[in-house]
Structure 1
Amino acid sequence: MSITDNLNTAPSWVSPVMRVGYSARAATYVILGALTVLAAWTGGQAEGTSSALGQLRDTSWGVPVLWAVAVGLFAYALWRLIAAHYDLELHGSGLKGIVARGGLIVTGLIHVGLGVSAARQAMGGGEGGDSVQSLASWLMQQGEWGKWAVATVGLVTIAAGIYYVFKGFRESYKRHLRETRLSRKLDPAVKVGLVAHGIVIAIIGIFLAYAGWNADPSQAGGMGLAFEAVRNQPFGRFLLAGLGLGLIAFAVYCVVEAVYRIIPRCSSGSMHTLAGNFSTAWERRLKRFA
């Protein structure tokens, strides 16, 4: 019997939607990481997420892949929104839980935007501009408060990046992952991927905060600008290549999530996670919701 039988759980299709979503996220980061490594090797321009996906359009198999990625990103967004609504990960209704569930909503909305971008590219609609810079520009046009909003978004983004880095080092992700021989072997790549992703997100946040402070939206930017900032450092091409490999490792993390992730409200207490027995980690939380 599931230890969540006495709780209101999400629809049965939540789990497959989540797994499709993580798979699409993995495909996106494989493409992005590979192009970043290639840019470091050849000295070319490092691409952001939208531009990296846009390069697929010119290949013979690119359009079907773009559609598949778009559908998957929408699935990931749906998973995040449903997880927030049903509190599938048992964050609770306190201040900490509200912040965590708010973060799920924000990441869901971000992936709606990425899904729209991939769909537009599949239809030949072009890559568009830098979405982060566009957001900063729009906010600053709304009034004097706009630059402070951009700076605040930047600080929140930095915090999100730090969260990913700590998530990797503290290994808190292990509580959600079913333990198997393969998941144990892939764990080092998962840790590296989370740290690399956190570094990129934090750099984007720094540019956003700086743009808000100076009331200059041109100083904001997404992953493309973050990659260029890394390249401009001493030994920048080597750092950029390492970051690209780290993003490929983050794709491995997404694959591991797609295959082995446990949804607390929808899972039994008999399985074993990378962090130990599932029931000992989550049953105490479930009792608070019963």
Structure 2
Amino acid sequence: MNENEKVRQVADSADAAAQEAADSRWFERVARAGFIANGLVHSILGATAVAIGLGQGGGEADQAGAIGQIAAQPFGMVLIIICSLGCALMALWCLVNAFFGSASLRGAGTRDPQHKQGRRQWIDFFKMVGSAIAYVVVAATFSQFVFGGGADSGKSSAQASTTVAKAPGGLFILMAVGAVIAIIGIAFCVNGLRRKWKDELRRPRGALTRFLVGFTGVVGYLGKGVTLLAVGILVVVSAATGDPEEFTGIDGALKGMRDQPFGPYLLLAVGIGLVLYGIFLALRSRYDRMD
């Protein structure tokens, strides 16, 4: 056996192992904890937004603030470690499936994006990669509390946007990033109203559970979508005005929403939507097909 054949054999073995991991039921079951962890963060974030809308302060309305509230509870650090591992495993599951599992481009039949089947496979691939990135961010935020005691995410967002703005064409890059975030927010709203997420779930047997999944899904997607839209608009505005340090992440976007006409009512609605999105994610941990 020559060197090339040995390399090919090792590559084939690694590929087979990755595909086996993608199809592993145990891997899938453990990774479902990521849905619950992400749902918990969204529910606390939504409750904080509701408190701010009611004029009760509420603290930092972002992921770091939500996780900080978890850390302050009895056994909170244990829960944070479990949530961090769950999100990390969910991110890994998404990546494995993007490259080796059901969303792999190798199973498209064609790699031509103009072909319907190929285009569908490209969409599934990028959705999996995008989900992996989202869960990596949440896992990293949890991990900051495990290893570094948390962080001021608003300050971090301002520093990151300022650093990007100093690069050549940085303000245009920030505007493009903001536009992409806003488009994703609009997509969340559209998917919520069209209930596209139903294709990714198993049908619950009980009528009450089906109603709860449907209701939390629609309202939750709208709450999440409006939040992302607000963040995207804030990024675009801060870049367009040449003042990127004004971008302070989700917290700044939600508190900026409160200061608009009818803002407290809108913030209340968005907060309730985020709470329901968290509940939807918890239900999704049970009913998502993950195939």
TM-score in terms of structure 2 length: 0.79
Unpaired runs of 5+ residues, structure 2, are: 1-18, 114-118
The CA distance in 2 between the partners of 1:231 and 1:41, in whole Å, is: 10
CA contact (8 A) 1:50 1:117 kept: yes
**Deviation larger for 99-108 or 228-237:** 99-108
Task: Tell me the equivalent position of 1:138.
Answer: 163
CA contact (8 A) 2:38 2:138 kept: no
The CA distance in 2 between the partners of 1:18 and 1:134, in whole Å, is: 32
CA contact (8 A) 1:26 1:251 kept: yes
Q: Residues 257 and 104 from structure 1, CA distance in 2 versus in 1: closer, same or farther, beyond 3 angstroms?
A: same
The CA distance in 1 between the partners of 2:196 and 2:227, in whole Å, is: 20
Q: Residues 251 and 106 from structure 1, CA distance in 2 versus in 1: closer, same or farther, beyond 3 angstroms?
A: same
State the shift of 1:197 in Å.
0.3
Task: Tell me the equivalent position of 1:119.
Answer: 143
Give the paired residue count.
256
State the shift of 1:124 in Å.
5.0
Q: Which one has a bigger Cα radius of gyration? A: 2
**Which among 164, 167, 177 is matched to residue 191 of structure 2?**
167
Q: Residues 20 and 57 from structure 1, CA distance in 2 versus in 1: closer, same or farther, beyond 3 angstroms?
A: closer
Q: Percent identity?
A: 24
Q: Does 1:33 align with 2:60?
A: no
Amino acid at match of 1:114: V
State the shift of 1:41 in Å.
2.7
Task: Tell me the equivalent position of 1:270.
Answer: none
CA contact (8 A) 1:161 1:198 kept: yes
CA contact (8 A) 1:192 1:249 kept: yes
For 1:131-176, what per-residue CA distance to the aligned partner results, in whole angstroms no more than 9, with x for missing partners? 44343223223x2222222111111111111111111111111111
Task: Tell me the equivalent position of 2:87.
Answer: 73
For 1:224-260, what per-residue CA distance to the aligned partner results, in whole angstroms no more than 9, with x for missing partners? 1121122112232222222111101101221222111
Higher helix share: 2
Matched position secondary structure for 2:153? coil
Matched position secondary structure for 1:125? coil
CA contact (8 A) 1:26 1:252 kept: yes
Q: CA RMSD in A?
A: 2.3
Q: Does 1:204 align with 2:228?
A: no
TM-score in terms of structure 1 length: 0.79
State the shift of 1:87 in Å.
5.1
Unpaired runs of 5+ residues, structure 1, are: 1-7, 267-290
The CA distance in 2 between the partners of 1:212 and 1:99, in whole Å, is: 29
**Deviation larger for 108-117 or 9-18:** 9-18
